[in-house]
């Protein structure tokens, strides 16, 4: 699981929302990691997934909720599409 894998999963979810005519999509790190694979599991890369999701944020995007550490499956970001 590489950064590009997580980026591709987020991009796909954003594209699916755009095709449906939505102006934004709310994505959780747990869902992204499940799409990529390896979660849940011993060798998960959840911190890397969360860092990638945060790094993909652009103007108008927002963190809806985050776990206390900031890096967990419940991290939820609303992306504009």
Alpha helices in the chain (DSSP H): 3-19, 29-36, 46-55
| Residue pLDDT, tens place only, 8-54 | 999 999 999 999 999 999 999 999 999 999 888 888 899 999 999 99
Segments making up each domain of the chain, as ranges: 3-80
Q: Is the bond leading into 40 cis (omega within 30 degrees of zero)?
A: yes
| Residue pLDDT, tens place only, 47-74 | 999 999 999 999 999 999 999 999 999 9
- Three-state DSSP at 25 gives strand
Contact residues for 43 (Cβ-Cβ < 8 A; gap 6+): none
- Three-state DSSP at 36 gives helix
Phi, psi for 64 (deg, rounded to 5): -80, -45
Q: Is the pTM higher than 0.85?
A: yes
């Amino acid at each position: 699981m590489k950064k590009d894998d997580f980026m591709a999963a987020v991009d796909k979810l954003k594209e699916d929302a755009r095709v449906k005519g939505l102006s934004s999509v709310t994505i959780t790190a747990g869902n992204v990691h499940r799409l990529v694979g390896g979660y849940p599991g011993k060798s998960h890369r959840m911190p890397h997934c969360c860092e990638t999701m945060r790094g993909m944020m652009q103007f108008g995007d927002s963190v809806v909720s985050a776990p206390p550490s900031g890096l967990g499956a419940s991290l939820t970001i609303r992306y504009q599409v």
